[in-house]
Homo-oligomer: A and B are copies of this chain.
Amino acid sequence: MKTPTAAVLVVGNEVLSAKVRDENGPYAAQALRNHGVQLMALLTLPDRLDMIVEAVARERRRVDWLFTSGGVGPTHDDVTLLAIAQALGRSLARHPALVENVRRWYSRQGTEPPEAALRMADVPEGTRLVGDALHPVMVVENVVMLPGPPQFFRAQFDAFAAVLEAPPFRLACAYLAIGEPRFAPALDRVSLEHPDVDIGSYPRFDEADHRVKVTFEAKDAERVEAALHAFLAALPEGAVVRCEGP
């Protein structure tokens, strides 16, 4: 099974201007990992139609799923749905089931929805609604349109994530007492010989018990093991503090 891939686009002036710290990107990164999905890009862009159109058109072509966060409300700075429609060459259309949800919400308060509230039901033509009918996830082609407030983002992300299930990633780590330059040529070789294993090298510069953590990751535990052992065999005496996994 090919590893499914995803990208996340956070639409948010408030993150770029440091008014709030993004919670949705890190949540999605962890959740996608847990579901065996490879996150290929995490982008935060301003509420600008032109930039979002361009990013959606570009990113959705190189992944299986593009998730967007934010910009789905009724005010002038909510341009995500229009941008996605334009990126897909679709128009916006008022979705009857979403209109129904807006009306139901207002009728509980004994009022009719104002036009601005109904505009929240204007979504890219062909949008399908997934999951709970009262809080559906909006999906068009391979773009999943999620709300920005973290509690709603998480709830809808989790509701959608069931369709993403894939075999888990397998990870092994080697913690080393030597610096990167001393093992870089060996790791280069192991990396070339195991192109199906993602290998990362992370130095630290604090008082930890190791100087570098080297990670080996793939869906196949045997390949992870093979890369780890090839690397360990190439290290000088005393280089390894400890190993973990896969």
Identify the stretch in A92-100, A134-142, A196-204 within 8 Å (CB) of chain B at 4 or more residues: A196-204
Q: Which of A139-191 contact B (CB under 8 A)?
A: 149, 151-152, 169, 180-182, 184-185, 187-188, 191
Q: Does A225 belong to the interface (CB within 8 Å)? A: no
In the bound complex, CA of A43 to CA of B46 (Å): 12
A74 CB-CB contact with B under 8 Å: yes
- Would A41 and B45 count as touching, CB distance under 8 A? yes
Take A18-B30, A42-B16, A200-B13 as given contacts and tell me if A151 and B205 are in contact as well, using a CB distance cutoff of 8 Å: yes
Q: Name A177-229 residues within 8 Å CB distance of B.
A: 180-182, 184-185, 187-188, 191-192, 198-205, 215, 217
For this chain, the copies found in one complex come to: 2
State whether B180 touches A75 (Cβ < 8 A). Answer: yes
A39 at the interface (CB under 8 A from B): yes
Stretch of A80-88, A112-120, A123-131, A238-246 on the interface side: A112-120
Interface membership of A4, Cβ < 8 A: no
Interface of A is mostly: mixed
A15 within 8 A of B: yes
Q: Residue A187 contacts which of B21, B75, B117, B119 (CB distance < 8 angstroms)?
A: B75
Select which of B18, B41, B188 is within 8 A of A44 by beta carbon: B41
- Residues of A in contact with B, size category: 35 or more
CB distance from A56 to the nearest CB of B (A): 14
- Asked whether A40 is an interface residue with its Cβ less than 8 Å from the other chain, the reply is yes
Of the residues B73, B113, B116, B185, contact of A185 by C-beta under 8 Å = B116
Question: Which 10 pairs, one residue from A and one from B, show the smallest C-beta to C-beta distance?
Answer: A116-B184, A117-B181, A116-B181, A75-B201, A42-B44, A18-B30, A18-B29, A16-B39, A18-B33, A76-B191
Binding site for B on A (CB under 8 A): 13-19, 21-22, 25-26, 29-30, 32-33, 38-47, 51, 73-78, 113-117, 119-120, 149, 151-152, 169, 180-182, 184-185, 187-188, 191-192, 198-205, 215, 217
